[in-house]
Amino acid sequence: MRQKKPRRIFSKLLLALFAFLAFAGAFWFGLVPQRLSPFPPISLEKPPSFFVDARLSSLRFDSALCQSVLKQPHIDATAIPDRNLESGCGWTNAVKFTSTGGAKIGVEPLTCEMAAALTLWVEHEVQPLAKEMFGQEVVRLGDMGTYGCRNIVGNPFWKGVRSQHATANAIDISGFTFADGRSISLLKDWKGSDKESEFLHKVHRSACRYFRVALGPDFNAAHANHFHFDRGLMWTCK
Ligand SMILES: [Zn+2]
């Protein structure tokens, strides 16, 4: 039998690699509409078990699909009009809401895709852990904002680059308030070895499934008092 030439095998491998990268890149940029996706649409009802990032990214440019995913009682979201990009600032396919995953928070605007990710995280990660560790639910999320026409702060390497906040594709969370009125904050409770610190570290780790960037106080001084979550094009969980 004739052996295949190593060069031909290498070419095929290279082609397969390019095909894989193109496939992954299309999902990464949110370019694969649900009708072309091999994955089922994401649902807020239960924690998604596979290809979470790819399924969330299919919501990016499909406002009708995204609105159909953001359902009561998981979130009380309402669509808001787009604001055309100007100097890198504005938003498309965004919503406003006052509660997510059973916790109150006043948000406007946040991209629909981010709202879905936030709801999945609060309902299926934060709330079960709060019940397990403290025997009660989180009733309010500390909100430090979503939209801001500004650049990335706290990192000289990214100086001059627009933050995901400039397109309402990010949210900053400062802490959690429980049903009995007790509060846990990033600034006060992140460090240490008590239950509050453990809770914050665990919810931070669990956020990395839903958000591409999930930064906390260990990342840099600019994040000492909040989690920063976004679904931009970078991937960091620190
Ligand atoms: Zn932020």
Write out pLDDT tens, residues 40-87. 999 999 998 899 999 999 999 999 999 999 999 999 999 999 999 999
Predicted confidence (pLDDT) per residue in 76-87, tens digit: 999 999 999 999
- Domains of the chain, residue spans: 67-237
Give residue 15's region: left, alpha or beta (phi > 0; psi -120 to 50): alpha
- Calculate how far, in angstroms, residue 68's C-alpha sits from the geometric centre of ligand 1: 27
Q: What pLDDT score does 11 carry?
A: 87
Q: Under DSSP, is residue 122 helix (H, G, I), strand (E, B) or coil?
A: helix
Q: What pLDDT score does 8 carry?
A: 84
- Calculate how far, in angstroms, residue 205's C-alpha sits from the geometric centre of ligand 1: 17
**Cα–Cα distance between 66 and 26 in angstroms, integer?**
18
**Cα–Cα distance between 76 and 58 in angstroms, integer?**
21
- Calculate how far, in angstroms, residue 170's C-alpha sits from the geometric centre of ligand 1: 6
Q: What pLDDT score does 1 carry?
A: 53
Positions in the chain short of pLDDT 50: none
- Calculate how far, in angstroms, residue 50's C-alpha sits from the geometric centre of ligand 1: 26
Q: What pLDDT score does 2 carry?
A: 58
Q: Is residue 84 classed exposed, middle or buried when 0-12, 13-18 and 19+ CB atoms within 10 A define those classes?
A: exposed
- Calculate how far, in angstroms, residue 55's C-alpha sits from the geometric centre of ligand 1: 23
- Calculate how far, in angstroms, residue 175's C-alpha sits from the geometric centre of ligand 1: 14
